[in-house]
Chain A
Amino acid sequence: MNPVMELGDYLWMTFAAFLTLATFSFLYKDNPLYKIAEHLVVGVSAGYFVIILYYGSLKTQLVEKLYDGQMVYLIPLILGVLMWTRFSKKLAWVSRYPIAIYIGIATGLAIPLEMQTKVTEQLQAMMVELHWGNLFDGGLLNYTNSFASLIIIIGSLAALIYFYFSKEHKGWFGGVATVGIWTLMLGFGASFGFTVMARISLLINRVQFLDQWRITSVGSAHQEGSGSYTAVYILILVGIFGLLAFDLIRTKGKTDTDLT
């Protein structure tokens, strides 16, 4: 069914499994294994993103455009070079200009977009949400349709009132604001549950990977060709748990301050 994995592939798989376990060891506490995983991932990703940045942005958005003769791209090039003046104490002030231009343009672009997506579109959607005629269905309240819309509208307006900062939350105003914060918290609760489900699925994925690594290493009655690397598997597990046990004994009774 599953051919014996090549040693090279198996070693990469083992390395990934080792890093997974090293990262999970953070659940115990900060330890040398976690530090190895942390420094490795930070270093590798920083280097990786330099390359991504060059090929994904600099090359396609600047170098190739300049080669095509689109000289307008000299402006961002100059602004980018000016950022490097930060390395000189005398000229560091020059780097404020590209920053100011960047922030100005970014804000200018963001404001109309935010106004459209977070104000006008939502306002318009709220206005057409409710159909009064459908509020009752056969003399009964239509819970699934129009009544739900009514709840959404009341909740949205109350939440908006919660974010009114010029008046203290007292009296009727405070009451409406309380409805607003309750609406928000209900939304947060639903969102929390939904996201936790997604995180659990990520955990399951990692656990399945570790299980696959175990099967590849020590074998399974249901999978032919697996189980050729039992020694490596045992060595890694003993190494990881041995190191954690040693760390536990070494730091027993010591406070964090003693260790740092």
Chain B
Amino acid sequence: MTLQSRTSRNAFWPGFRLAVYGMMFGIVFSSSAVLSQEATAEVDNASTMLAPMLAPAAPGNVTVEDAPNDAGHAVIVTFSQSQAPADGQALVLGYEIYRSLARSGPWKKVGAVPSDVDVTASLIYKDAGGSDKSSDDYLPTETDLFYRVRAVTADSTLYSDSEVSAPAQAVGQWWNSGRNPVFFFVLFFTLLTLYFLRVAKQRGDSLYIRPLAGIDAVDEAIGRATEMGKPILYVLGLGTASDIATIASFTILGRVARKVAEYQTDVIVPCYDPIVFTIAQETVRTGYMDAGRPDAYRDDQVYFVTQAQFAYVAAVNGTILRDRPATNIYLGKFYAESLILAETGAIAGSIQIAGTDEIAQLPFFVVACDYTLIGEELYAASAYLGREPLLLGALKAQDYAKAVIVVLAILGVIMSGLGYEGFAKAFEAVG
């Protein structure tokens, strides 16, 4: 057994050694072959590097046209690429775009475009300048502009310029046709609103709106504050007066102020934005006047705090804990402060009603407040509270517009699914 195995080992080793030697030889040989190939390639490269290079072919057909649907400070430059490099010509890496106010220059580089692998493809560059005359990127409107395209290579001394383009002007348009879908939607919605305003005027406040729990709670909350002899805190959020949520909140504030004046309780409105503060003061004052109690209104009920987000939150938190309002109403645009405010209000034991169209903040209000108006419910709330024909009509119009949108969406999904992309394309707004 031992002998047999020794014999077989002796027979194995010479073969194994031979295989190893063969492998080593193969590796060495192949390495030297690669090295020799690399060396040849290096020599080739060196000879190529040393060969005198020629400038590339010039780009051509430079055409310039006004960029559509803008205020008139942009043009579109189209050009054909340089032809594929012939023997000795340097490879084009990209194209530089130059602009001048005169055919003879001086030229200013305004941008660059990388070359395309397919040299037959035309390239497009949009030269969008600024409207500020003092700015470096100012692009004059209704003035002749000349363009030239330069094909550039890795060697900065090897380039080719195109012919100078024909003059073109950047002209502003009064009508942005790229936003036609938006226009038609606004027009449709306006007509719908006008129709429902008429209907609402004829039918008074009999138009049906489903109950909104958060808004039903407002009157109850004001009553609670009156019974407890404590104020109501109304926070308009961090939005500016141009935010739709803030505008909707003003309407509700007016209603709350009127109720508060009727019930002879108090409302506190700390403001973040100076313009919002001014409008809020005016709204509350008008509410008191509508209730027939202008004498009860005090300017210090509505006050400006600061425009620093968390400083504002610190101040409102302090107010919540010191004045212990019976009800906190947070309606408007809110950001990271939403949970901090709502949590403090919950600690203070106030009834809390919140509403915002900021999707990221709604979860916090849902968690920490008694009632939450989600997104559009905030807009609907003003109509629901006021029952005025103007607001009711607008709300009805919104509802019918939504119904149309649902139908269009279903149609669009089916059409696109069947391959008719044109239907969806009709709703695409550009610019």
Contacts and interface: CB of A to CB of B under 8 A. Distances in A.
Given A48-B308, A114-B244, A164 B402 contact: yes
A164 B399 contact: yes
A246 interface: no
Interface residues of A, number: 67
B243 A41 contact: no
B53 interface: no
Interface in A98-128: 99, 102-103, 106-107, 109-112, 114-116, 119-121, 123-124, 126-128
Interface string A137-180: 00000000000000001001100110111111100000000000
B417 A132 contact: yes
A127 B423 contact: yes
B360 A157 contact: no
Contact of B275 (A102, A126, A168, A195): A102
A86 B307 CA distance: 20
A163 B427 CA distance: 22
Interface in B270-318: 275, 278-279, 281-282, 305-308, 310-312, 314-315, 317-318
B416 interface: yes
Contact of A37 (B314, B402, B413, B415): B314
| Residue from B307, B398, B400 with most neighbouring chain A CB atoms (10 Å) | B307
Given A107-B247, A126-B413, A168 B210 contact: yes
A99 B310 contact: no
Contacts of A86: 278, 281
B241 A127 contact: no
Contacts of B364: 192, 195
A38 B406 CA distance: 48
B322 A165 contact: no
A106 B359 contact: no
Interface in B400-431: 400, 402-403, 405-406, 408-410, 412-413, 415-418, 421, 423-425, 427-429
A86 B277 CA distance: 12
A26 B405 CA distance: 48
Interface stretch (A182-190, A214-222, A232-240): A182-190
A220 to B, nearest CB: 30
Given A38-B315, A191-B363, A160 B405 contact: yes
Interface in B163-212: 179, 181-183, 185-186, 189, 207-210, 212
Contacts, number: 184
Contact of B314 (A38, A111, A164, A256): A38
B376 A112 contact: no
Contact of A121 (B317, B400, B429): B429
Interface of A: 23, 26, 29-30, 34-35, 37-38, 41-42, 44-46, 48-49, 53, 68, 83, 86, 95-96, 99, 102-103, 106-107, 109-112, 114-116, 119-121, 123-124, 126-132, 153, 156-157, 160-161, 163-169, 184-185, 187-189, 191-192, 195, 256, 260
The 8 A-B pairs at the shortest CB distance, nearest first, are namely A106-B242, A127-B412, A45-B308, A127-B424, A192-B363, A188-B363, A132-B417, A45-B311
Given A121-B429, A126-B412, A157-B410, 12 more contacts: A29-B321, A41-B308, A45-B306, A103-B241, A120-B185, A120-B428, A120-B429, A128-B421, A128-B424, A163-B380, A188-B363, A260-B324
Interface of B: 134, 179, 181-183, 185-186, 189, 207-210, 212, 240-244, 247, 275, 278-279, 281-282, 305-308, 310-312, 314-315, 317-318, 321-322, 324, 359-360, 362-364, 366-367, 374-377, 380, 384, 395-396, 398-400, 402-403, 405-406, 408-410, 412-413, 415-418, 421, 423-425, 427-429
5 contacts: A42-B306, A99-B241, A103-B247, A107-B242, A157-B406
